[in-house]
Structure 1
């Protein structure tokens, strides 16, 4: 069975690189270490599905199943030798090879003329405010942690991306405010872009 490299699958393999864990421990560490900024673990079911796929692919294995009186039965997983090799391969690929991803924001931007320039301005101003807040939170997070830089690289990256997006949004907002960027339905329908 081929297991596809996903951010969550890589994260599970990386966590098990350090020590055997049960799923609850994995989810707790992901949140505790701030990895939930880059890996979606809000639905525990997706973590369990990923673990099942990694097990079926021979990348992780059950180390033990135990029961503590105060907790339900817990299955502890460990990384296999094959899992260790695959994790390093996935890490190399994800670091070195840019992938075409399809986030919502660029898709929405590609249809901006569906809104009026004023509606677009209002929506982008709201986004700029939220991005500025995210940037400030990431800045505070970076300043608050006295850990090796390698542990916070994803936060550093997210901060840089948020800062760049905030700068770009401010220029687009200014162009919308001053009328440098504008459009109309008639103008769009008359353009060669929309001609049949």
Structure 2
């Protein structure tokens, strides 16, 4: 089975204690891991659990029956799952992988907008990034009040550093667009592309 952020998260949570899928999803959200792992669709979690089960990385511990809730299957990590979790974690931390996020893909075609439009949308993004940084700072202050160990929030530290770097870049580019030091003419670029084809 190939690693994935969600599979790593499920194995890590089950490494701490046996859980049913709802409990896994609840902990992911309570611990803020939904900011770094996509669990927006419950079906993705259930598919991941099925894949881990088929691969022998987790097993069914028990099925809980309670009149207040539907039947719940509780899963636990296997020895093979513990080994896979450690291997995946080491690999994900050590290796740099090529990822294909939306923003760089959109930037590669920003020339389809006018410089004024580009400045407008990039300034809008900068505002969103600023708000994200403020939210992370609020979380960090709350974490400090709880006296949680720093290791529990390293992903937020990393996200803040990345967002701060992005904000600096966005401010520089929007400044260049505003001053006119970064500009383009779509018709000239399209003619250049036709000449090269």
TM superposition score normalised by structure 1: 0.96
- Residue 33 of structure 1 corresponds to which residue in structure 2? 31
- Secondary structure of the 2:100 match is coil
- Residue 173 of structure 1 corresponds to which residue in structure 2? 174
Displacement of 1:42 in angstroms is: 1.3
Per mean C-alpha deviation after superposition, the further-off stretch among 186-195 and 31-40 is 186-195
Where does structure 1 differ by over 4 angstroms across 4 or more consecutive aligned residues? none
Task: Tell me, yes or no, if structure 1 residue 44 matches structure 2 residue 45.
Answer: no
- Residue 182 of structure 1 corresponds to which residue in structure 2? 183
- Number of aligned pairs? 194
Structure 1 gaps of 5+ residues are none
Displacement of 1:191 in angstroms is: 3.8
Deviations 1:88-113 (A, max 9, x none): 00001100001100000000000010
CA distance in 1, matches of 2:83, 2:186: 55
CA distance in 2, matches of 1:172, 1:42: 32
| Contact 1:10–1:90 (Cα < 8 Å) also in 2 | yes
Displacement of 1:143 in angstroms is: 1.3
CA distance in 1, matches of 2:73, 2:27: 16
Across the aligned residues of Structure 1 and Structure 2, the Cα RMSD in angstroms comes to: 1.2
